[in-house]
């Protein structure tokens, strides 16, 4: 269930903001509609939910884990379509590890 946890939020929040910004810039530059749709409808909203959850420090570990895992899986699907997006997969994987380390 939900629990209050002290985690180092500033680094994670910065990572999420920077990741979303870089995704949006690449989307504008590349204009690949199917990939943009996956990012804008699935990944970015979840990243913002994760960010909000971390900011308020009141969360379910399971819920947070599911959200970041879904982001990672969705980004993997994008990489399968276009390997140019592999750096985003790597960044989300690192973000996932950082989140999981800090919530345990």
Counting as low any pLDDT under 50, the low residues of the chain are: 1-7
Residues 25 and 100: their CA atoms lie apart, in Å, by 27
Q: Which two tokens stand for residue 53?
A: 């959850």
Residues 75 and 70: their CA atoms lie apart, in Å, by 8
Instruction: Give the pLDDT confidence score for residue 60 in this predicted structure.
Output: 79
Greatest CA separation found in the chain? 41
CA angle 44, 87, 103 (to 5 degrees): 60
Collapse the DSSP code of 58 into the 3-class scheme (helix H, G, I; strand E, B; otherwise coil) and give the result.
strand
Instruction: Give the pLDDT confidence score for residue 8 in this predicted structure.
Output: 61
């Amino acid at each position: 269930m939900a629990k209050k946890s002290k985690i180092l939020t500033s680094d994670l929040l910065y990572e999420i903001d920077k990741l979303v910004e870089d995704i949006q810039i690449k989307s504008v530059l590349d204009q690949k509609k199917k990939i943009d749709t996956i990012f804008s409808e699935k990944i970015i909203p979840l990243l913002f939910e994760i960010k909000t959850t971390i900011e308020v420090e009141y969360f379910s570990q399971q819920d947070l884990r599911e959200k970041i895992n879904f982001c990672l899986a969705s980004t993997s699907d994008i990489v399968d379509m276009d390997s140019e997006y592999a750096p985003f997969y790597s960044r989300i994987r690192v973000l996932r590890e950082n989140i999981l380390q800090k919530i345990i």
